[in-house]
Amino acid sequence: MRVLIGGGSGFVGRELIQMLRGKGHEVTIISRQPGPGRITWAALESGGLPHCEGVVNLAGENIMNPMRWWNNHYKKDLVSSRVDTTRALAHAIAASTTPPHSWVLITGVACYKPCLQTQYTEDSEWVPFDFLSQLVKEWEEAARLPENAAKNIRQVVIRPGAVLGRDGGAMKQMLTPFRLGLGGPLGSGRQPFPWIHVSDLAGIIAQSLEPSRSPLSPHPEVFNGVAPSLKTNFEFTKELGHLLKRPTMFPVPGFFLDTMLGSERAVILTQGQRVIPKRTLESGYKFQYQDLRMGEKVLKADVGST
Ligand code: NDP
């Protein structure tokens, strides 16, 4: 299969590409930078969709970029880098005379309102309630194909929690304070911490790229990209501290994170959602990393030597 991946040069993309190439698939990246094995977004808009069987969009300005101050300019970049790239791909797919059989978008669990009790599955109703949930709404809407194109193309939306893995994402940013003995629960620590290992997210994307075995729906299939075992931020912090043999006594106050990151973005850390991968499990996907404790494999593999 030939697969086109918007934003494939990033953390999740690198894992996905390795997995797809390992299965014998051909991959082309869409990037802002030209290079071998790549096309640019401008080339997609002018030249249309290259011939491919599967399309994925992973493009997006990093929400947790510590170098960027939370302001309207950054928020605009967060939205446009996701919504405009997704819309460009949806238009190119709909206009293609040889369309792919699958179109997969990766968004996030920020659509579900943080709550200590409510459990969310892919069937849960939600309405936007803050900046990030509004972003998810616009992002997923931008991916929708017109009815005539949707008849023949499998549309999938995957909503991951924090993606853990050695080469990037949340883990990379967390390791330094932990190694310095400054890691601690964030805010109250009681908030759920929906997470997924990067190889499982890549696995769910790869599965979603396969042609559908059931009749196609005009609506996208949604899969929650979270590990089946739910942890709180406190439990996750303890596991990580234990593996790194570092103390985790010092809680990081919510107001500090609000000030440093901006309260609209700090909610990713200080609040959380109890998200269940109900349909992901029903689809037959077998998680490699179900639980943080699984032989301590998930953290050890990514923490490496301390
Ligand atoms: P990365 O931060 O690694 O970025 C992916 C790619 O997006 C980059 O390699 C870059 O490609 C492209 N990109 C960055 N900024 C812009 C921009 N301003 N305009 C256009 N393209 C841009 O993302 P991840 O791989 O970690 O995540 C993939 C997707 O999954 C993202 O949409 C993210 O929001 C979502 N997600 C990630 C989570 C995580 O914990 N990592 C959690 C939940 C959702 P290039 O430089 O080649 O153009």
- What pLDDT band is residue 295 in, cutting at 50, 70 and 90? very low
Residue closest via CA to ligand 1's atom 6 equals 7
| Residue-level pLDDT at 260 | 87
Three-state SS at 154: strand
pLDDT of residue 274: 97
Sign of CA dihedral 186, 187, 192, 194: negative
Q: Confidence band (pLDDT; 50, 70, 90) for 293? A: low
Give me ligand 1 centre to Cα 93, in Å.
21
CB 80 within 8 A of CB 41: no
Q: Is the CB of 85 under 6 A from ligand 1?
A: yes
Tell me: the pLDDT tens digits for 133-171? 999 999 999 999 999 999 999 999 999 999 998 777 777
Q: Whose CA is nearest to atom 39 of ligand 1?
A: 163
How far apart are the CA of 6 and the centre of ligand 1, in A? 9
pTM of this structure: 0.95
Q: What is the pLDDT of residues 111-123, one digit of tens each?
A: 999 999 999 999 9
Q: Give pLDDT tens digits for 207-249.
A: 999 998 888 888 999 999 999 998 999 998 988 888 778 888 8
The pLDDT-based confidence of 301 (bands split at 50, 70, 90) is low
Could you tell which of 163, 171, 268 is best to mutate to test the pocket of ligand 1, judged by most ligand atoms within 8 Å of the CB?
163
Runs of H (alpha helix) within the chain: 11-22, 41-47, 72-95, 131-143, 147-150, 169-179, 198-209, 233-244, 254-261, 263-270, 278-282, 297-303
> Does ipTM surpass 0.90 in this model?
yes
Does residue 283 have its Cβ closer than 6 Å to ligand 1? no
Tell me the average pLDDT across 50-55.
Answer: 98
